Amino acid sequence: MSRKLNLALIGAGRIGKLHAETIAFRIPEATMAAITDIRTDLAEAVARRCAIPRVAASVDEIFRDPGIDAVLICSPTNTHAQLVIEAAQAGKHAFCEKPIDHSIEKVDRALREVEKAGVKLQVGYNRRFDPNFARVRKAIASAEIGTPHLLHIISRDPAPPPISYIKDSGGMFLDMTTHDFDMARFLIGDEVTHVYTAAGIRVDPQIGAAGDVDTAVVVLHFANGAIGTIDNCRMAPYGYDQRVEVLGSKGSITTENCYPNYAVISTADSVRRDLPLNFFLDRYTQSFESELRAFVEAVIKDTPTPVTGADGRAPVVMGLAARKSYDEHRPVRLEEISAAKGADTTRSS
Amino acid sequence: MSRKLNLALIGAGRIGKLHAETIAFRIPEATMAAITDIRTDLAEAVARRCAIPRVAASVDEIFRDPGIDAVLICSPTNTHAQLVIEAAQAGKHAFCEKPIDHSIEKVDRALREVEKAGVKLQVGYNRRFDPNFARVRKAIASAEIGTPHLLHIISRDPAPPPISYIKDSGGMFLDMTTHDFDMARFLIGDEVTHVYTAAGIRVDPQIGAAGDVDTAVVVLHFANGAIGTIDNCRMAPYGYDQRVEVLGSKGSITTENCYPNYAVISTADSVRRDLPLNFFLDRYTQSFESELRAFVEAVIKDTPTPVTGADGRAPVVMGLAARKSYDEHRPVRLEEISAAKGADTTRSS
Amino acid sequence: MSRKLNLALIGAGRIGKLHAETIAFRIPEATMAAITDIRTDLAEAVARRCAIPRVAASVDEIFRDPGIDAVLICSPTNTHAQLVIEAAQAGKHAFCEKPIDHSIEKVDRALREVEKAGVKLQVGYNRRFDPNFARVRKAIASAEIGTPHLLHIISRDPAPPPISYIKDSGGMFLDMTTHDFDMARFLIGDEVTHVYTAAGIRVDPQIGAAGDVDTAVVVLHFANGAIGTIDNCRMAPYGYDQRVEVLGSKGSITTENCYPNYAVISTADSVRRDLPLNFFLDRYTQSFESELRAFVEAVIKDTPTPVTGADGRAPVVMGLAARKSYDEHRPVRLEEISAAKGADTTRSS
Amino acid sequence: MSRKLNLALIGAGRIGKLHAETIAFRIPEATMAAITDIRTDLAEAVARRCAIPRVAASVDEIFRDPGIDAVLICSPTNTHAQLVIEAAQAGKHAFCEKPIDHSIEKVDRALREVEKAGVKLQVGYNRRFDPNFARVRKAIASAEIGTPHLLHIISRDPAPPPISYIKDSGGMFLDMTTHDFDMARFLIGDEVTHVYTAAGIRVDPQIGAAGDVDTAVVVLHFANGAIGTIDNCRMAPYGYDQRVEVLGSKGSITTENCYPNYAVISTADSVRRDLPLNFFLDRYTQSFESELRAFVEAVIKDTPTPVTGADGRAPVVMGLAARKSYDEHRPVRLEEISAAKGADTTRSS
């Protein structure tokens, strides 16, 4: 492809706007050719900010446009699977925000259409591109720490979202832990076979009333024998807490949080520093840019995307299994979830 | 008690020798009055080193001596319970190395004798006295971090013990994790109701052949709803790894490993430091001294010991439950272990 | 000013290109209206990259254009003072890369023209905008650490520049230490009265043959009695080393280097991390953006620039004094330099 | 020497008591045979604590006793030189607290007697034995960081001593900086040729009224071309601050302060830790033990002591030169001090 890649954005909310800016200002190989949102005012504001030449009246208009090479699907989760299907049928490559859907059936239908159409699909698990976690993956992939035995993921939000959000979120395991499920598979480079969930309502009883939990430990049993834990909490009073550590046969690797500055103040009271970067837009800035660069490159060079449809499917299975384990107080095999829906979890690359 | 406390040491091995030195050189309120070991040469060497005036020919000789106030039981684990019983019957206070025994029945018999005799019993869970973990306990007890929600204990040895040792050890959960079970109860200040174990043989197949595991994650469900994990491995290539972290409603506290020095070397290759203190005698030096000081003080002032018989019993129950969970691939309630043996786990203080 | 600020770039080298990108992509309140460079190919490349509509044939063309509000002077140092003068005479505000000039006389001539014309001048001491150093300044300005007593600046390059560069650089004190002189004044918020230099040639004898030093400690005596040191070396094998620390009457503040990731790898050899961000474009990315945002805001709101002409003059005086101290093996008062040139060092804001 | 080394303690104050305990409880190769102090009650208390069999009525009694091999001189500074002379004349080896004396003449007289008598002399610069600084020395001695170029020593007390103490102390450079002068020579392994002092009264005007300074930077010019700085302040509000860093041709090494625990607490306010170990008895515990072990070993094995008389002399010269530099606002060559007194600074080992 000698010309620039033409992208259209579907969904002009917070993450959509961020992706539009990244394409417009940081990735010379691509251009934002169109944008659409049911809220036209939002679409127009982003179009102005990023000099996007066209605000489309509908997604259909975008899918029908032969000049559009690929779409960025940043609309609400419950529209993702359908839009992926339509994109595939229109022959457009798709970058789809996570998760693809909360229903394995719908995910599988979308993945079948993608496969049939032969288009690229990348799912927005941006944390894989964070320099810290990428460094951990590199340490494992290069055997710098030998064979991985034990993995721990700490993933805590600074404060819980509104209860209204939680009601639509699919629950913590599908909404928040989904990133950690992806991270676990990414770092270890292997599939999880069963999970065990210990969880509770510690932060806000309203979260419990909405049918969800707000604090959890999920134990992951990997096919290769490695064992992992995910620690989630909807509220870490000191801010966004995002760390991993891995013990391998030759050593370990651990990451620290990222901070707005690396100054340490010592007074008669304590030796202290400012709080870590507060939330994902600040903490994962670089990764949002890197994931889009990777998508653009995969389309241009016709190489596999780094976060495939199968990668997008697995965390949904894991999220459903984690919830089932919590509900039934027992370890749950992923096959119980996956087989029931008749899907193939083979990891494509 | 206006005079010095007279102590006798039973068992002149590595830990016995350490305790004798501590009493002799660091704790002015107590004195080493006698020592015994079936290996007389070892007993005599320690007696010389620590200026202990008498090498007793047998434990009986010690128990019959009215001048002895208390005994330090540092003999092999399978003799602990019986020696605690004999000490109690002789009216001697006892400091007993951990664990009291691998059998809940034998533990309970010993605790009953202690209670009947009204003597003091302290079990050698020294890590409670480590300045780092003591600081974590203080943060929780003082509500500096609010109500604890999530606890993580990392506890890894630098290298596995000889296979012969493993065969007699009672298995990793009774031998190594026992310290972490105690730490979990100590830090959270509450009882565990059930456990789930994920474990495997990752370090050495011979450990598996001996019927044990070498790598494990144990999930702890506390009565108060807090959730904990213990990460154990018989081999951390970089050395002894001993850390905890706790998330509470108001904040978190984490500890770091201890190092022989705090120098950082930066070259064209990396920014690096030396390895952490390699094993327990170096890492926990201060805690071994502090636990004996606490025992001596408890006896002199007639106050409860800081690590009671009930505290010594609980980790044995937890170790048996952790193994059962691993064997049966399911969460196990501690009552399944404890009730079967008819014992009361009420925590005395 | 209701419309966007129109900027022209003079000098399309590395730093010029960076500034053009920042204005084009990050600062919505300003626009790149023109660019010029004696190497037209460079100017055209940057113009394409940043969608700059006009490549001017000469600086005159820019200065004559009434549509240009301000210029970014990124040409070689020996042209700075003259371009500042021409900009002032043409009524253009100027952002000028550091240093203004190596001659106090030429600096003073430029500052007089700026004052006469009433235009804004900001000098490119970008490090003031680094989040770490800004945090230190905040700690001092807010009295978080009380009255500052002692300041230390560590400022080391990863490797020396080519000898040809050193010959034209004005020497380490005018070229490299100039940033640290500015930092010292910025952090302490006071003027230096005299300096003492200890220096040598430790890295490369060719640097000495070129008449320069490559390693130095400069002691700063502040008017308020605070004492500072600057540690400079042309080569830190582990990379770019940029730290400060300040002791005050109520506490201290220290900064750490910035790293590409915050992962720590522990193996049987060491506990280590990757090297710090290697050089200024990576380390000071954010500060380059922030200084231009501050300049654009100062012009739009007609407020003083945060790095004034006087701020640009002081480091030149300090650099000349530091060299004189080294040459004459004695402390040198800044008045010896400044008075000789008949200039007023009053700090304007 | 097959029997234990018999030591006598002269001076039963704080540091004398510490040394007595170390010999009594930690160093099996030596024994405390006698103690003396003009305050007999202090001598008797230490004798009881450490089971020292004899409280001598005078130093003469000790020097006349053929059973005493060596003395620990822990009396006030103004008696050190005379006691070293008497010890030498009595054929006793001497461990002498720092500094030997504030007068180079008196130091030289003492060193001549030591040399004539052929006894061992070790001066109490204990910090050389601190594991952190020992690690730095090792990095330099082993060329792990190449040839040293730049050295920085931070050495700040938690709070100033009483004014009465300051009046007798000889001034900050002879009392406090003396440790840092020793550290500088020890780490770099070379002599300082001249010094430059910037100093002031920042902490307490009464210190100035007593003729002393409380805050200083001393620049050290080493014979080998390395440059060092010492940062001293009588008050660091956060506690005892004891760090060094060295840049060499192949890398750098830096040390951190030591802390009572390595726990980090994160709340909504800050990420913080407890203050560092507050003062020298806590921070340098291990080094006090190690220096005595080294002295005992040097006497027993008839090897040079690790801190010789010449090592004890150099910091006195440096202290006098540092003060002269401050008084005369100019760099001062050590020869100005040393030559005037006609002494030889050759470093013996």
Check which CATH number belongs to the domain holding A133 and give it.
Answer: 3.30.360.10
Contacts of C156 in chain D (CB under 8 A): 247
- Regarding whether B314 and B180 lie in a shared domain, the answer is yes
CB burial string C178-213: b at 16+ within 10 A, e below:
bbbbbbbbbbbeebbbbbbbbbbbbbbeebeebebb
Asked if the Cβ–Cβ distance from C264 to A258 is below 8 Å, we say no
Residues in chain A: 349
Residue with tokens 């004005």: C170
Residue B340 has a pLDDT of 54
Is there a contact between A271 and D275 if contact means CB atoms under 8 Å apart?
yes
Q: What confidence score (pLDDT) does residue A280 get?
A: 87
* Residue A342 pLDDT grade (very low, low, confident, very high; cuts 50, 70, 90): very low
Beta strands in B67-137 (DSSP E): 70-73, 93-96, 121-123
Give the 3-state secondary structure of residue C172.
helix
Q: Residue D275: which of A237, A270, A275 has the nearest Cβ?
A: A270
A340 pLDDT band, cuts 50/70/90, is: low
Q: Are C86 and C64 in contact (CB under 8 A)?
A: no
Task: Please indicate, yes or no, if residue A347 is contained in any of the structural domains.
Answer: no
Mind telling me how many Å the CA of C27 is from chain A's nearest CA?
A: 11
Helix, strand or coil, per DSSP, at residue B199: strand
Beta carbons of A231 and B196 less than 8 Å apart: no
Contact B308, B349 (CB under 8 A): yes
Q: Which among D131, D251, D256 has CB closest to B267?
A: D251
Whether residue B115 has pLDDT greater than 60: yes
Domain residues for the domain of B193 are 129-277+310-341
Say yes or no to pLDDT of D349 above 50.
no
**Whether C239 and C116 share a structural domain:** no
Q: How far apart are CA A91 and CA A85, in angstroms?
A: 10
**pLDDT score for C51:** 84
Domain assignment of residue D346, yes or no: no
Q: What count of other Cβ atoms lies within 10 Å of the Cβ of residue B315? A: 27
State the best of A144, A150, A213 to mutate against chain B, taking most chain B CBs within 10 Å: A150
Q: Which helix (H) or strand (E) holds B289?
A: helix B285-301
Residues of chain B neighbouring D25 (CB-CB closer than 8 A): 24-26
> Which range has highest mean pLDDT (A156-170, A193-207, B278-292)?
A193-207
Distance to chain C for A47, nearest Cα, Å = 14
pLDDT tier, A347 (very low <50, low <70, confident <90, very high otherwise):
very low
Q: What number is the average pLDDT over the span D227-252?
A: 97
β-strands A215-222, A227-233: how paired?
A: antiparallel
Give contacts of D267 with chain A, Cβ < 8 Å: 237-238
Helix (H) or strand (E) holding A243: strand A241-248
Going by C-alpha positions, the residue among C163, C177, C113 that lies closest to residue C322 is C177
With a CB cutoff of 8 Å and minimum separation 6, the contacts of C205 are none
Residues of B with CB under 8 A from a CB of A: 146-147, 149-150, 152, 156, 196, 198-200, 202-203, 215-217, 219, 221, 225, 227, 229, 231, 233, 235-238, 241, 247, 249-252, 329-331
Residue with tokens 């956060």: D238
Using a pLDDT cut of 90, give the percent of chain A over it.
Answer: 90
Q: Angle at Cα D174 formed by Cα D98 and Cα D179, nearest 5°?
A: 55
Q: With helix as H, strand as E and coil as C, how does B134-153 read?
A: HHHHHHHHCCCCCCEEEEEE
* C247·D229 Cβ contact <8 A: no
Per-residue pLDDT of D82-104, as tens digits, reads 999 999 999 999 999 999 999 99
Residues C88, C148, single domain; the answer is: no
Residue B48, burial from CB neighbour count under 10 angstroms (0-12, 13-18, 19+)? exposed
Domain shared by C122 and C172, yes or no: no
Our separate counts of H helices and E strands in chain D read: 14, 14
Number of domains comprising chain B: 2
pLDDT for residue C2: 54
Q: Say what the pLDDT of residue A2 is.
A: 54
Which of A41-50, A182-191, C145-154 has the lowest average pLDDT?
A: A41-50
A221 bridge partner residues: A194, A227
Please provide the distance, in angstroms rounded to a whole number, between the alpha carbons at the two ends of chain C: 22
* ipTM tops 0.85: yes
Same domain, A88 and A168: no
- Out of D236, D268, D273, the one facing A270 most closely (by C-beta) is D273
Name the β-bridge partners of C227. C150, C221
Three-class secondary structure of residue B234 per DSSP? coil
* Other residues' Cβ atoms within 10 Å of the Cβ of residue D36: 24
B316 and B296 part of one domain: no
Q: How far is CA B115 from the centre of its chain?
A: 21
Residue among B24, B4, B8 nearest B72 (CA): B8
pLDDT tens per residue across span B145-163: 999 999 999 999 999 999 9
Please report the DSSP string for D175-242 in residue order. HTHHHHHHHHHHHHTS-EEEEEEEEE--S-HHHHHTT--SEEEEEEEETTS-EEEEEEES--TT--EE
- B246, B220 Cβ separation under 8 angstroms: no
Beta bridge pairs of residue A192: A222
Residues of C in contact with B273 (CB under 8 A): 270-272
Chain D hits for A237, Cβ within 8 Å: 266-268
> Which chain A positions have a beta carbon within 8 Å of D159's beta carbon?
none
pLDDT at D24: 87
Instruction: Write the DSSP symbol of residue B339.
Output: G
Residue of C135, C172, C202 to mutate, interface with D, max D Cβ within 10 Å: C202
Q: Which of A177, A173, A189 is nearest to A226 (CA)?
A: A189
CB within 8 Å: D270 and A268: no
User: What is the mean predicted confidence (pLDDT) over B31-41?
Assistant: 96
Q: What is the pLDDT of residue D298?
A: 96
Determine, yes or no, domain membership for D11. yes
For chain A, the residues whose C-beta falls within 8 A of a C-beta of chain D are 236-238, 266-268, 270-276
At residue D107, what are phi and psi to the nearest 5 degrees? -60, -45
pLDDT at D50: 87
Mean pLDDT of A174-202: 97
Q: What is the C-alpha to C-alpha distance for residues D283 and D129, in angstroms, rounded to an integer?
A: 12
| Interface contact flag, C215 D147, Cβ < 8 Å | no
Q: Do D264 and B250 touch (CB under 8 A)?
A: no
Say whether both D147 and D244 belong to one domain: yes
Q: What is the mean pLDDT of chain C?
A: 94
Say whether pLDDT at D155 is over 70.
Answer: yes
pLDDT of residue A51: 84
Tens of pLDDT, residues C273-308: 999 998 888 889 899 999 999 999 999 999 999 999
Alpha-carbon Rg of chain D, whole angstroms? 20
Examine the pLDDT at B344 and tell me if it is beyond 50: no
D232: Cβ–Cβ under 8 A, 6 or more apart, which residues? D155, D156, D172, D176, D177, D180, D215, D216, D217, D218
pLDDT value at D111 more than 60: yes
C270 chain-B contacts, CB cut-off 8 A: 270, 272-275
Residue B349 has pLDDT above 50, yes or no: no
Judge whether B22 lies within some domain: yes
| Whole-number Cα distances in Å, A130 to A73, A278, A289, A292, A296 | 21, 16, 10, 13, 17
What pLDDT was estimated at residue B2?
A: 54
| Maximum pairwise Cα distance, chain D | 67
User: Is the model's pLDDT at A231 over the cut of 50?
Assistant: yes
Burial of B18 per CB tally in 10 Å (0-12, 13-18, 19+): middle
D302 and D259 share one domain: no
Average pLDDT over residues D177-196: 98
D173 within some domain: yes
How many interface pairs between A and B have CB atoms less than 8 angstroms apart?
93
Evaluate whether D92 touches D70 at the Cβ level (below 8 Å).
yes
Rg of chain B taking only CA atoms, in angstroms: 20
Distance from C-alpha of A264 to C-alpha of A272, rounded to nearest angstrom: 6
SS3 content of chain C, % helix, strand, coil (to 5): 40, 25, 35
> Same domain, yes or no, for C149 and C82?
no
Give D327 or C168, the one with higher predicted confidence. Answer: D327
Among the partner-chain residues D132, D252, D262, the one whose CB lies closest to the CB of B266 is D252
The pLDDT score that the predictor gives to residue B342 is: 44
D166 within domain boundaries: yes
Other C-beta atoms lying within 10 Å of the C-beta of residue A155: 20
For the cut 90, the answer to whether the pLDDT of residue B50 exceeds it is no
Amino acid at C12: A
B329 alpha carbon, distance to own chain's centre: 27
pLDDT recorded at residue D70:
97
Strand partners, C8: C34, C71
Which chain C residue is nearest to residue D202, measuring alpha carbons? C149
Neighbouring residues of B251: CB distance < 8 A, sequence distance ≥ 6: A237, A238, B144, B145, B146, D265, D266, D267, D268
Choose among C139, C258, C263: nearest Cβ to A253.
C263
Residue D58 lies in a domain: yes
Looking at the complex, report in whole angstroms how far the Cα of residue C138 sits from the nearest Cα belonging to chain D: 16
pLDDT at position C338 is 83
Q: Are residues B60 and B123 in the same domain?
A: yes
Report the CATH number that the domain containing residue D18 is assigned in CATH. Answer: 3.40.50.720
Tokens of A130: 């964070």
Give me the sheet containing A121-123, strands edge to edge. Answer: A30-36, A5-10, A70-73, A93-96, A121-123
Lookup: tokens for C246: 């300040």
Q: Is residue C342's pLDDT more than 80?
A: no
Query: For the segment C152-196, what is each residue's pLDDT rounded down to a tens digit?
Result: 999 999 999 999 999 888 999 999 999 999 999 999 999 999 999
Residue of A nearest to D278 (CA): A268
Give me the residue from C238, C271, C274 closest to B267, CB to CB: C238
Regarding whether A110 and A35 lie in a shared domain, the answer is yes
Q: Is residue B167 scored above 70 in pLDDT?
A: yes
Interchain contact, C276 vs B272, CB within 8 Å:
no
User: What are the E-state strand segments in chain B?
Assistant: 5-10, 30-36, 70-73, 93-96, 121-123, 148-156, 192-200, 215-222, 227-233, 241-248, 251-255, 263-267, 271-273, 332-333
* pLDDT at site C249: 97
Q: What is the pLDDT of residues B263-287, one digit of tens each?
A: 999 999 999 999 999 888 888 989 9
CB A273 to CB D275 under 8 A? Answer: no
Q: Which tokens belong to C181?
A: 């002189």
Decide if B348 is inside a domain.
Answer: no
Q: Does residue D107 sit in the same domain as residue D138?
A: no
- Res A168: pLDDT: 86
Are the beta carbons of D198 and C196 separated by less than 8 Å?
Answer: yes
